Structure 1
Amino acid sequence: MRSSNPVFSRRGFTQDAGYAGFGSGGTGGTPQGAAPGAAGYGQAGGNPYAQAPRNPYDRQPLTPQQMEEMYAGPAAGPAQTGRMTMDDVVMRTAMTLGTVVVGVAIGWFGLKDQIGVAYGAALVAFVLAMIQAFKRTPVPALILGYAIFEGLFLGVLSRFYNEAWQGAPVQAVLGTVAVFAGMLFAYKARIIRVTARYQRIGMAVAIGFVLALAVNLLFAAFGAGNGLGLATGGLGIVFCLLGVCLGAFFLSLDFRQIEDGIRGGAPQRESWLAAFGLTLSLVWIYLELLRLIAILRD
């Protein structure tokens, strides 16, 4: 079963001048997947949008008339500055998750027992997600395309689980909401702090998690039955719990990314990247909880 987030390194929001990596955050690290010289949070005072210091006196002084016009003019707002706001992030995230829900409805009611179609949709969603992950700027069509195909996969899969374990999808959705709310509270209360060490440990665990899943799949595919036993029993429960914790870890990176982007004046279009990251993390958590509930109820 597909249960891996295709974007492990949460790259930062981009600037018009180039790539900004999310690896440093003012904590002394190097952006994930970026060369040491790439622009990142460790430069320009830890903010990828901070400009080089400028002498405020190296321009001609304003005339009294110009100053009066400036004071009389309206205050600059998001629409004028073109900078990302929390409202932008919420709206784009709602659009992306709404598209996922539409896909789920189609998959649940229109593709009953079409497991092959579901896995085909999952493959298309994975490809679209990877294309977006390696693009310099967010492409809304790619993000919404990923959302609809991911939704189709989740719809068919959720119906399958619901028929085998009645109510499992609803429990997984409630669990996903609870994890999201808990992580948001922990992040806002600064119980969890996204530091360079925190990111390195989390990424190392995530890579090991996916490698273990790949090895388990290979063993199962070549006749080892249950593979390494990561999908059943006590080991399966532990592995699913680890998966949920990793999903929560990715959420914390998303929150940090959004906070830094808004504080640093990221372009408004980058709210799509925030929505994309949040959707990936939530889908990851939902799938791991769905597996966990199935194992527990067996």
Structure 2
Amino acid sequence: MRSSNPIFSRWDSGRDPDAGQAGAYRREPVGAAVGGQPTADYGTNPYAPAGPDTGVRTGSNAVTMDDVVVRTATTLGAVVLTAVLSWLLLPVDEANLGRSYGIAVGAALVGFVLSLVQSFKRSPSPALILGYAAFEGVFLGVLSSTVSTYISPGVVVQAVLGTFAVAAGTLIAYRMRWIRVNQRFAGFVGAAATGFLLLLVADALFSAFGAGNGLGFHSGGLGIVFGLVGIVLGAAFLALDFRQVEDAVAYGAPREEAWRAAFGLTLTLVWIYLEVLRVLTIFNSDN
């Protein structure tokens, strides 16, 4: 299945699970199924080595679930570490608020640029991915500290727990096959996410050019509904991420692709955290 998430655009691969060695590839017909779900929408396996032979990737060169877990834990650990450090070292009191905000905005821009560079690279770069995680953590730390200090004390812990709950619920729904992750699902999620992002851009433009509260997505019932839509979209992308990781592990994608999985999962979890934080902040401030 081809993912709508560009981070996973190269994870649509296939390995013969009945092959004698880990990583032995086969040519897959379009629409073949593994585990009851369609595989990649490719006529041939994009990871198969060039040439007439079947191509065998040894076990040490094929990605495993442990590889994905370790890389993801490392990347998320970098986010958490820099978030905690920025919370402690970049105070958001009146005397330091401007400096802390400036650093946070700069870190967010650097993280965004690094994520774009990695997104368009043909192979994952651990340095870029960990750099993105570190700068993203700085931004999240200052933002979370500001929200906790000035708007809703305790909301950050609630947002973290909410993010874990969404991720766990999505994983359970995916493993139980309550969510059917196929090409139609991916297309729907991609279209919905495009509309969501366009609304965010429109809201920012209205706010920047004197419309005050923009389109109203920052407060009240409309803000909560918009945030809930963002959470649902994040969960849908997380289901796509799970599917791509499962396919890659089952079909023996190159081991280095574990870093790409860690990058995509981190992007999605950050999205979910921000939307959960938005909803809880609006809800707590209105009560």
Partner of 2:9: 11
Residue 98 of structure 1, aligned match among 48, 56, 77: 77
CA distance in 2, matches of 1:11, 1:200: 13
Given residue 286 of structure 1, which amino acid in structure 2 is its aligned partner?
Answer: Y
Sequence identity percentage: 53
Matches within 5 A, 1:50-61: none
SS in 2 for 1:296: helix
Tell me the matched-pair count: 250
Q: Is the 8 A contact 1:121 1:150 kept in 2?
A: yes
Aligned-residue offset at 1:11? 1.3
Q: Is the 8 A contact 1:41 1:48 kept in 2?
A: no
Q: Deviations over 1:225-276 (max 9, x none)?
A: 0011011111101100000001101101110110111111101000000000
Residue 187 of structure 1, aligned match among 149, 169, 174: 174
Matches within 5 A, 1:97-136: 97-113=76-92, 114-136=100-122
Match in the other structure for 1:42? 41
Letter matched to residue 105 of structure 1:
V
Larger Rg: 1
Give 5+ residue unaligned stretches, structure 2.
Answer: 14-28, 33-38, 93-99
RMSD over equivalenced CA pairs, Å? 2.4
Q: Flag structure 1 segments of 5+ consecutive residues without an equivalent.
A: 1-6, 16-24, 29-39, 57-75
Please give the secondary structure, in 1, of the residue aligned with 2:171: helix
TM-score by length of 1: 0.78
Report which structure shows greater RCO (CA 8 Å, sep ≥6): 2
Q: 1:165–1:8: structure 2 CA closer, same or farther, 3 Å change rule?
A: farther
Shift of 1:54: 6.7
State the 4+ residue runs in structure 1 displaced beyond 4 angstroms.
25-28, 50-56
Within 2, Cα distance between the matches of 1:288 and 1:146? 19
Matches within 5 A, 1:158-237: 158-163=144-149, 164-237=151-224
For 1:43, give the aligned amino acid: Y
Counterpart AA for 1:175: G
Give the superposition deviation at 1:51. Answer: 6.6
Distance 2:145 2:269 in 1: 18
| Counterpart residue number, 2:36 | none
Which stretch of structure 1 is more off in the superposition, 135-144 or 258-267? Answer: 258-267
Task: Quickly say closer, same or farther: Cα 1:42–1:291, change in 2 above 3 A.
Answer: same
CA distance in 1, matches of 2:53, 2:87: 61
